[in-house]
Structure 1
Amino acid sequence: MQGEPGIGKSALLEEVVAEAAGMVVLRATAIEMEAELAFAGLGELVRPVEHLINRLPSAQARALRTALSLEEGHTPDGLTLGAATLTLLTDAAAATPVLVAVDDAHWMDEASTKALLFAFRRLQAEAVAVLVTARDDEDCPFTAAGLPTVQLSGLEPTAAAALVQRVADVPADSEPFKRLYRETAGNPLALLEAASALPDAQVLDGPWPVGPRLTAAYSARLAALPEASRRALTVAAAAYTEEAAVLTAALRRLTLNVEVLQTLEAAHVIDRSGGKVTFAHPLLRAAAYHMAGAEQRREAHRALAGALTDRTGPVDREQRSWHLAAAAAEADSAAAAALADTAARARDRGALPAAVRAYERAADLSPLPVDRGRHLLAAAEVAQLAGRGDQALTLAETATNATDDATVCAGATGLRSQILLLRQPPRRVHDQLVDMAEGLETAHAVPLLVAAAGAACMGGGIAQARVTADRASAFVRQDGAASFEKPAALMRAHTMMLSGERREAAAVFDSCEKFLTETDPLSIGVEATSFSAMDLMWLERFPAARTLLERAIRSARRIGASERLVPYLTVLADLQLRTGCWDDAYALAGEGTALAAEVGQPVLQAYAISTSARIEAARGRTAECIEHARQFRRLVEGRGADLVTPYMEAAVGLLDLGSGKDSEAAARLHDLQQQVAASGLGEPAVLQHQPDLIEACLAADDPCGAEAALSELMGQVQRAPSSWGQAVTARCRGLIHADEDAYVEALRHHELLPDPFAKARTDLAYGRFLRRGRKRGAARRPLLAARRVFERLRADPWTGIAERELRAAGFETPTRRSHEPVALTERETQVAVLVAKGHTNREVAATLFLSEKTVEYHLSHIYTKLRVRSRVQLASRLAVGTQHPA
């Protein structure tokens, strides 16, 4: 429910709660002062069902207990915490329906809001009702999340008259009531406040108390109270808790008689039931706090901080640190240190936005420039991990302006380079970072040059990247800076790999194996992990690449580092595609696409989309592939991402080839090859488009074009041999020269690769060769093998080609029923992949952050769409790997 102050949101919520007989009611009322306290709202909401936390899956239980400060533990990532909240709600509703009631959600702390929104969006088939109230004049994530919303408006005249009659004798047909109704627009609280102030039913002079003026009316009402009552109210309004014991302890520190609370309760300003002190209305609280002078508010916060001094719980320490900060009129090193400690704990609990705010305030209160810079840099680092790149850039710049400390300046500069690398046009980023590195010491210059080389690679400037990477390595050699040796070497190896120096790159990875397997991926540049994983994939070290990426993903998920998570997800999607785990790849690419859009990484979003498009192209899903191509071009337009653009061109070329548009495929892939050659890309495994170009040229009756493309491919493979390169080169020789030995050689190399699609393409070509040579019996075996793989991958165009070849070989195949009459959604694909791997519904729910009932809901749709009846049939239908991606 949404509406202006006083419109009746809280009253309606109370009515719903009163009518919720037989339901478990979980409720929380957000307080403006508690907005800085991480997970305050979530803790209040779930307190009645805390006993169920231990029944959650272990990872979820740990995450929720850590977030709520019930135990110390590793940082809970936002996804696991959201899933824990969802599972707790659905478990609570297993036996009895649940009502979740949140009042004044616009004031709820951001950490709680994120966890609850995650759960609310995924409630689908559960016995959980949710009612949230928020003001329409406040920014509120709940109202911005697209959830169903009821907009409350004023009462109708008849109902308004009946309400007014409770406090004043004002007839409904009288002029005073008509003006009253006209001025208040039927706002219930405004009606009551104005009507109760009418002397003998006379009309008030001046503006009437409605909307923002209600607070002014409350202030006037509170101003009439005795000074001691107003001081006590200021303390109550300043408190981060409604706990009566804390408030009374603070009042005693101000030598205020606790009996003053009885007076305030008698005046209907506060309520003291249940061991709490609550205000009759949130506007009263706001009025009480803001009508006090600045010194009186600081006095209240000092008293509250003192009342919490002897309490050692993590929530008490957090509240005390914010009270110390609010009590400070100038720089205060003790308050700054307390807030920095609160920020560190918030980061460890996964409350990244709360940590940013605490570090910023700690910087404000720090008397020394170096401490201000250190806290601002910490705030920038946390903001970057939270996916708030723009805020992180601003904080990093502010940190360098705050101090000339070398460590702070170097950290801020390195952080800026990481953010720019993922967000801005690559070539421009390269030039900016190189300029930033000029004149800096090695410790400061090398990280910038490494990131600059990575940006140049993404921009297609491979020669430029090599020069910059060589420069970074030279800095390291000159100064013996061992801590930068491996990242610089890995970036140099990446430029080698792209240039076709495969053996040299492999030697670097041999020397860096321990560094990659033992170093925390979040402690080094994003390019060191994601580019290294790409290189290992191109070097056909698939297990090592997968292990590296899964470690990085776990590390990023653990603290909710969405900014870092995107590149790891997108590269893992590419890896799964190349190893035949197409459904894994499609699910990962979808997640990477959504997350990249959320955190503002258009180039990586385009890369993820290209992976989806390559799968769609192979499966003949023309409309989806073309739509993704359109989105891709919009994302990369004007960004100079020249090494990313070819991925989509290769995908559309494959779509044309599978659709029988041979001339279009040949022309597109020929242009792509020219673009790739101009960029200096010398490793054919990067795009893997050249075999498609050769096949398209042959199908388009252009043998010369095919010969030229084969000659170039053979040259690259001879300089830098790989199993894939040797396999597809031999297949293309067989296609062009009708050489059976070449096909046999190709199949031998394929045995060393986990790429079933590439091998099936060779089986298809070999079977066609045998069939045309009138060796029909021999042709059936490779053709049947190809068809089996194409069917498993649901590569329908290629299945159709294989079946036509089988019929031409005299092997009648049964009419094939479509494997995917309706395409699975991204979420359905994710559920189907895990179920096909043998996971239970509860395990799937925990992995995908869903409830079990929602998994059951999706599974029923999957069975219908794929026309299967069991998990065994589903597993046989999907192209999944033996491992679950992180």
Structure 2
Amino acid sequence: MLLGRRPERAVCDELLDAVRAGESRALVVRGEPGIGKSALLDHLTMRASGCRVVAAGGVQSEMELAFAGLHQLCAPFMDRLGGLPEPQRAALEIALGSREGPPPDRFRVGLAVLSLLAEVATEEPLVAVVDDALWVDRASLQALAFAARRLRAESVALVFATRDPEPAELVGLPTLDIAGLADEDARALLSTVLLGPVDEPVRERIIAEARGNPLALLELAPAPGTPGEAPLPARMEEHYRRRLAAFGTSTRLLVLVAAADPTGNPVLLWRAAERLRIPASAVAPAAAAGLIEIGPQVRFRHPLVRSAIYAAAPDAQRRQAHAALAEATDRELDPDRHAWHSGQAVEGPDDEIADRLERSAGQAMARGGLAAAASFLLRSAELTGDPARRTRRTLLAAKCSLEAGSPDRALALIALAEAGGPDKVQRAEAGLLRARVAFIRNRDAAASPLLRAAAADLEALDPELARTTYLEAISAAMFAGALGEGQLREAALAARAGPPAPDPPRAADLLLDGLAMRFTDGYPAALPVLRRAVVAFRDGPAVGPDAVRWLWLACVTSTQVWDFPSWPRLAGKFVRLARENGALSTLPAALNSRMAADVLTGDLGAAAGLLDQLRAATDATTARPFLPLGELMLGAWRGETAETEALAEATAADVRRRGEGAGLVAVAWALAVLHNGRGEYPAAADAAASEDHEPPVLGFPPWGILAELVEGATRAGRPEEAAAAFDRLAAATAAAGTEWALGIEERSRALITEGPAAEEHYRAAIDLLAATPLRGEEARAHLVYGEWLRRVGRRADAREQLRVAHAEFADRGMEGFAERAERELATAGETAHKRAAPPTGRLTAQEAQIARLAREGLSNPEIGERLFLSPRTVEWHLSKIFAKLRITSRRELRR
């Protein structure tokens, strides 16, 4: 019976009711040690009648073993892996060590866990609890938190118990904070352990000191002593240490071995005890005191007992315990735990054990356990006698930490390696890692000089890596933009002075040479090389690290050379490769680029669908796209003022904090489109002029902000500002010479041209843009031409152009521009026809996206892969879609 906890029990009961009803829930139970989290989990699982229950728990000494926690949770379900989509099954099997293959993306492992839990729950509702989540290895916690965020309608509950502060992976999940017991309940609990009568003042002092903590009431009450100043967990650990001191040497050593073994395997414990000549009777005093229980599993009364035992033991005894566990662990069946215990059993350098730890690190990396690999490598380095090998292992540990998402730990390891007297190669590697940490933390002006310096150090050692690093330096400077204070040109000059490209050049080599030339010799000179780079990325084989790594910059470059046909092809390739390779951390950037391309083609429906996927990816992976440009542009072309302005404000604040100047240009461009679309010309000109920097290095499309400035300033009565912007725009468009570039140039030239001569430029703009896929830009050409015709008194001709523009805008959901065209039509003497809302307006955004993907022929598992949902949730959504649209099959979705 759980004493008190009425609100908490109600939350558990509601969770179970929801799961039995076919819904899913995630919950983080949070509170200080001893507050009753485990008791609440026990209550939850005992009340879970009609549900299948599975449990896992974190153990502090097991945090260094990749996917150890996930193995606990998934072990009962391994026979169900055949029901998963093959990419997910492969990822999970590699992570758990039952299949060979390339390291899986950690988010695909999480998606596999989600699908596995959903598959198990098809038979009966599933309740999965994870106690002591603070001590679950990071790879497992990332996968489980991923699954928890994507639970929808699978009849699954995933419940974590943890201390405050909770692990970063769990932040944002629904949380139940556990406070101390009410005084009445605390008195009732205290009365169960007091031995004989106790004066009321003493009783009240015990209750006050315990602050409602049940474990403190149970453990500290029989001998309260004096009020303690130390935090309660420290007092509890000291209490357990005092109790342990009363036991004999054999008992203390036995419980220490149990505390050092994270598996809780009694067979392993007795094997180790035999090697230490500990008799079986030694467990009796600790068991009688209720500190440890040895049955099918070795269990401690509380995690604080385990940590107190381990912390109180002298270093020599800890090494003795680990040595016994290493001897008792099967080296063939469990090489990682054997290596880990061996590593903890020695005090000084031991190259043989260090080599084994490095091999275990390699196995952890192969399974995607980068955080665990870093820990193995660090211990390996500590046991390495040769300074050069020690530094190499420390740097590799730093690299694994960085890739695992721990830049602070990576920096600490880099500093440790640099203090160890690295050679030239190692100094260069350390500099490169330090520079990459700077870029990952903030894409500001600080990263590019560090990358440039690292590239210079690498020139004589590894010319190919030096060129890649120069490309990183240029891209970092591009992100910094105008806030980079000359970094872009300096990075470009350094790259041009660096090692030449190999023959034949790779796609990344062409990209580096083209960008370096652009920022030194100018745009026209760089155009041929940049175009070759775009074609190489667009048509080249999709293999090797550069295939995905630089596709985002290739997308940017396609717009820089005004090559619109290549942009959606590159972005589509980027999305496809990110999905196929399981590179889900880069998927948001790929979707962002494809969204922006779809917006400019006028396919706002497709862009909205990709926005659903983008939000799913960022939510599921807790990642952020480089810039939310696709979402900004979608809102701007839709005319959604409040939403776009709010996103623009948040984005501007974020990029200013990071020193990412290119982001400010993107925000200004989106706001200029929004205000021009709504006919708010002074606001459009002000927005465009606020970040009118030359060159707009990450603009989509290039110099798009100048075209918006020309229109806004012209219509706002600021002709000098418009003319100056047009001169800079035309310098780029004339050099590029594509129909897209020349169409924008002609439309802008028409706006600043006085008298009848403007008409030929309006007509030329329409003809040029009609030859491109840019339906929105073509409609804008009809709109501004119609407005000009109305102003010069040719109302009939104006209505013809304005009708075309209005129909195009209205059909494509470009509401701001559609309303502007409607107003112009009314002024020209015609009322625009309102369009009926499509019947699919009854669907939510996610339902509409699922319907679109199902209409394209994707299966439920394939749709789940796209949207980070379980196949069962996709099926649930489809049933709702069919009911809303009054259809009965996928075949009818096209209609």
TM-score of the superposition, structure 2-length normalised?
A: 0.82
- Which of 310, 324, 343 matches 1:303? 324
> Which residue does the alignment assign to 1:369?
387
Are residue 341 (structure 1) and residue 359 (structure 2) matched?
A: yes
> Which residue does the alignment assign to 1:692?
708
Instruction: State the distance in 2 between where 1:240 and 1:406 align.
Output: 41
What is the CA distance between 1:327 and its match in structure 2? Answer: 0.9
- Which of 81, 84, 89 matches 1:61? 89
Query: Against the structure 1 CA distance between its residues 360 and 827, is the aligned structure 2 distance closer, same or farther, given a 3 Å change threshold?
Result: farther
What is the CA distance between 1:112 and its match in structure 2? Answer: 1.8
What is the CA distance between 1:722 and its match in structure 2? Answer: 1.4
What is the CA distance between 1:584 and its match in structure 2? Answer: 5.3
1:144-155 equivalences under 5 Å are 144-154=171-181
Deviations 1:254-310 (A, max 9, x none): 344456557765664433333x32234333333333333211211111121122244
Are residue 476 (structure 1) and residue 496 (structure 2) matched?
A: no
> Which residue does the alignment assign to 1:722?
738
Secondary structure at 1:129 match in 2: strand
- Which of 33, 36, 39 matches 2:67? 39
> Which residue does the alignment assign to 1:28?
56
Are residue 271 (structure 1) and residue 260 (structure 2) matched?
A: no
Are residue 170 (structure 1) and residue 196 (structure 2) matched?
A: yes
Query: Against the structure 1 CA distance between its residues 448 and 713, is the aligned structure 2 distance closer, same or farther, given a 3 Å change threshold?
Result: closer
Question: Which moves more between the two structures, 384-393 or 619-628?
Answer: 384-393
Query: Against the structure 1 CA distance between its residues 778 and 556, is the aligned structure 2 distance closer, same or farther, given a 3 Å change threshold?
Result: same
Instruction: State the distance in 1 between where 2:886 and 2:181 align.
Output: 53
1:380-529 equivalences under 5 Å are 380-424=398-442, 426-434=444-452, 441-443=459-461, 446-458=467-479, 459-460=481-482, 465-466=488-489, 468-477=491-500, 487=508, 489-496=510-517, 501=523, 504-507=526-529, 509-510=531-532, 517-518=540-541, 522=545, 528-529=550-551
Query: Against the structure 1 CA distance between its residues 548 and 400, is the aligned structure 2 distance closer, same or farther, given a 3 Å change threshold?
Result: farther
> Which residue does the alignment assign to 1:879?
none
> Which residue does the alignment assign to 1:883?
none
Instruction: State the distance in 2 between where 1:489 and 1:540 align.
Output: 17
> Which residue does the alignment assign to 1:843?
862
> Which residue does the alignment assign to 1:884?
none
Instruction: State the distance in 1 between where 2:505 and 2:329 align.
Output: 46
Secondary structure at 2:56 match in 1: strand
Secondary structure at 1:212 match in 2: helix
Secondary structure at 1:696 match in 2: helix
- Which of 325, 345, 349 matches 1:327? 345
Deviations 1:610-632 (A, max 9, x none): 44223222211111222223223
Query: Against the structure 1 CA distance between its residues 546 and 389, is the aligned structure 2 distance closer, same or farther, given a 3 Å change threshold?
Result: farther
What is the CA distance between 1:367 and its match in structure 2? Answer: 1.8
> Which residue does the alignment assign to 2:315?
294
Aligned residue type for 2:741: G
Aligned residue type for 2:733: V
Instruction: State the distance in 2 between where 1:54 and 1:469 align.
Output: 52
Instruction: State the distance in 1 between where 2:576 and 2:350 align.
Output: 38
Instruction: State the distance in 1 between where 2:886 and 2:560 align.
Output: 37
Secondary structure at 2:499 match in 1: helix
> Which residue does the alignment assign to 2:17?
none
What is the CA distance between 1:51 and its match in structure 2? Answer: 2.5
What is the CA distance between 1:182 and its match in structure 2? Answer: 4.8
Equivalenced residues, count: 856
Whether the aligned pair in 1 keeps the contact of 2:681 and 2:713 (CA below 8 Å) is yes
Secondary structure at 2:703 match in 1: coil
Question: Which moves more between the two structures, 6-15 or 104-113?
Answer: 6-15
Aligned residue type for 2:650: Q
1:118-157 equivalences under 5 Å are 118-136=146-164, 139-141=166-168, 144-154=171-181, 156-157=183-184
Secondary structure at 1:71 match in 2: coil
Deviations 1:335-383 (A, max 9, x none): 3222222223323323332233222222222222222222222223223
What is the CA distance between 1:537 and its match in structure 2? Answer: 3.7
What is the CA distance between 1:514 and its match in structure 2? Answer: 5.5
What is the CA distance between 1:637 and its match in structure 2? Answer: 3.4
Secondary structure at 2:627 match in 1: helix
1:591-606 equivalences under 5 Å are none
Aligned residue type for 1:252: E
Deviations 1:597-617 (A, max 9, x none): 99999xx86x62344223222
Instruction: State the distance in 1 between where 2:216 and 2:198 align.
Output: 16
Instruction: State the distance in 1 between where 2:202 and 2:394 align.
Output: 57
Aligned residue type for 1:456: A
Secondary structure at 1:278 match in 2: strand
Instruction: State the distance in 2 between where 1:427 and 1:207 align.
Output: 51
Query: Against the structure 1 CA distance between its residues 340 and 692, is the aligned structure 2 distance closer, same or farther, given a 3 Å change threshold?
Result: same
What is the CA distance between 1:153 and its match in structure 2? Answer: 1.5
What is the CA distance between 1:797 and its match in structure 2? Answer: 1.7
Instruction: State the distance in 1 between where 2:577 and 2:319 align.
Output: 41
What is the CA distance between 1:32 and its match in structure 2? Answer: 2.2
Question: Which moves more between the two structures, 258-267 or 43-52?
Answer: 258-267
What is the CA distance between 1:493 and its match in structure 2? Answer: 0.8
Are residue 631 (structure 1) and residue 654 (structure 2) matched?
A: no
Query: Against the structure 1 CA distance between its residues 593 and 125, is the aligned structure 2 distance closer, same or farther, given a 3 Å change threshold?
Result: closer
Question: Which moves more between the two structures, 551-560 or 124-133?
Answer: 551-560
> Which residue does the alignment assign to 1:645?
664
Deviations 1:458-495 (A, max 9, x none): 42479863564344233314xx8779986454223125
Secondary structure at 2:682 match in 1: helix
Query: Against the structure 1 CA distance between its residues 3 and 700, is the aligned structure 2 distance closer, same or farther, given a 3 Å change threshold?
Result: closer
> Which residue does the alignment assign to 1:795?
814
Aligned residue type for 2:680: K
TM-score of the superposition, structure 1-length normalised?
A: 0.82
Instruction: State the distance in 2 between where 1:190 and 1:666 align.
Output: 66
> Which residue does the alignment assign to 1:378?
396
Instruction: State the distance in 2 between where 1:565 and 1:436 align.
Output: 28
Whether the aligned pair in 1 keeps the contact of 2:742 and 2:768 (CA below 8 Å) is yes
Secondary structure at 2:53 match in 1: strand
Instruction: State the distance in 2 between where 1:489 and 1:529 align.
Output: 13
Query: Against the structure 1 CA distance between its residues 642 and 28, is the aligned structure 2 distance closer, same or farther, given a 3 Å change threshold?
Result: closer
What is the CA distance between 1:239 and its match in structure 2? Answer: 1.0
Instruction: State the distance in 2 between where 1:525 and 1:391 align.
Output: 26
1:741-820 equivalences under 5 Å are 742=761, 745-765=764-784, 786-803=805-822, 813-817=832-836
Aligned residue type for 1:656: H
> Which residue does the alignment assign to 2:249?
227
What is the CA distance between 1:686 and its match in structure 2? Answer: 0.7
What is the CA distance between 1:114 and its match in structure 2? Answer: 1.8
Instruction: State the distance in 2 between where 1:648 and 1:409 align.
Output: 39
Stretches of structure 2 that go unaligned for 5 or more consecutive residues are 1-28
Whether the aligned pair in 1 keeps the contact of 2:418 and 2:427 (CA below 8 Å) is yes
Deviations 1:205-235 (A, max 9, x none): 8979975333333333333333333322222
Instruction: State the distance in 2 between where 1:486 and 1:715 align.
Output: 27
Secondary structure at 1:36 match in 2: coil
- Which of 234, 245, 269 matches 1:212? 234
Aligned residue type for 1:474: A
Instruction: State the distance in 2 between where 1:523 and 1:401 align.
Output: 33
Instruction: State the distance in 1 between where 2:843 and 2:524 align.
Output: 39
Whether the aligned pair in 1 keeps the contact of 2:435 and 2:454 (CA below 8 Å) is no
What is the CA distance between 1:159 and its match in structure 2? Answer: 6.4
Q: Percent identity over the alignment?
A: 32
Stretches of structure 1 that go unaligned for 5 or more consecutive residues are 877-886
Whether the aligned pair in 1 keeps the contact of 2:146 and 2:620 (CA below 8 Å) is no
Whether the aligned pair in 2 keeps the contact of 1:446 and 1:475 (CA below 8 Å) is yes
> Which residue does the alignment assign to 2:37?
9
Instruction: State the distance in 1 between where 2:474 and 2:681 align.
Output: 38
Deviations 1:122-172 (A, max 9, x none): 334443334433345x6545774442214141364466446644x565347
Aligned residue type for 1:304: L
Query: Against the structure 1 CA distance between its residues 150 and 464, is the aligned structure 2 distance closer, same or farther, given a 3 Å change threshold?
Result: closer
Deviations 1:564-617 (A, max 9, x none): 66655544443443444545556767887999999999xx86x62344223222
Instruction: State the distance in 1 between where 2:666 and 2:467 align.
Output: 30
What is the CA distance between 1:808 and its match in structure 2? Answer: 7.2
> Which residue does the alignment assign to 2:3?
none
Instruction: State the distance in 2 between where 1:432 and 1:789 align.
Output: 49
What is the CA distance between 1:795 and its match in structure 2? Answer: 0.8
